[in-house]
Amino acid sequence: MSEPQLADLLGGADGVADDGPGAIAAALASAPAVNESPEARDERLMDAAVALARSGTGATYPNPCVGAIVVQGERVVGAGRSAVTGGPHAEVSALSQAGGAARGATVYVTLEPCSHFGRTPPCTGALIAAGVAEVVVGTLDPAAHAGGRGLELLRAAGIRVRHGVLAGACASAHEHYLHHEATRLPFVTLKIASSLDGQIAAGSGDSKWITGEPARRLGHWLRARHHAIAVGADTVLRDDPALSVRMVTGVDPLPVIFDSALRVAGAVRRPTLLRPGTVVLHTNRAPAAAQRAVDDLGLRRIELAGDAEGRVDVAGALQALGQLPLRSLLVEGGGRMIASFVAAGAWQRFYWFHAPVVLGDGKPAAAGLKVAAVADATRLRPLLRTDVGVDGLTILVPPADRAEEPARRES
Active site residues: 91
Listing DSSP states for 218-285 in one string gives: HHHHHHHT-SEEEEEHHHHHHH-------SSB-PPPEEEEE-TT-GGGG-SS--TT-STT-EEEE-TT
Task: List the binding residues for NADP(+).
Answer: 193, 209, 235, 239, 260, 334-340
The CA-CA-CA angle for residues 269, 272, 274, to 5°, reads: 90
Report the alpha-carbon distance of residue 155 to residue 148 in Å, rounded: 11
Task: List the binding residues for substrate.
Answer: 207, 223, 243, 246, 332
Name the residue among 99, 164, 145 with its Cα closest to residue 126: 99
Task: List the binding residues for Zn(2+).
Answer: 89, 114, 123
Under a CB-based contact definition with an 8 Å cutoff, are residues 341 and 191 in contact? no
Task: List the binding residues.
Answer: 89, 114, 123, 193, 207, 209, 223, 235, 239, 243, 246, 260, 332, 334-340
Rounded CA Rg of the chain:
23
Report the alpha-carbon distance of residue 237 to residue 266 in Å, rounded: 10
Report the alpha-carbon distance of residue 23 to residue 52 in Å, rounded: 5
Query: DSSP E strands: which ranges in 264-397?
Result: 279-282, 300-303, 328-333, 349-355, 363-364, 381-388, 391-397
**Alpha-carbon dihedral of residues 351, 356, 359, 362, nearest 10 degrees?**
0
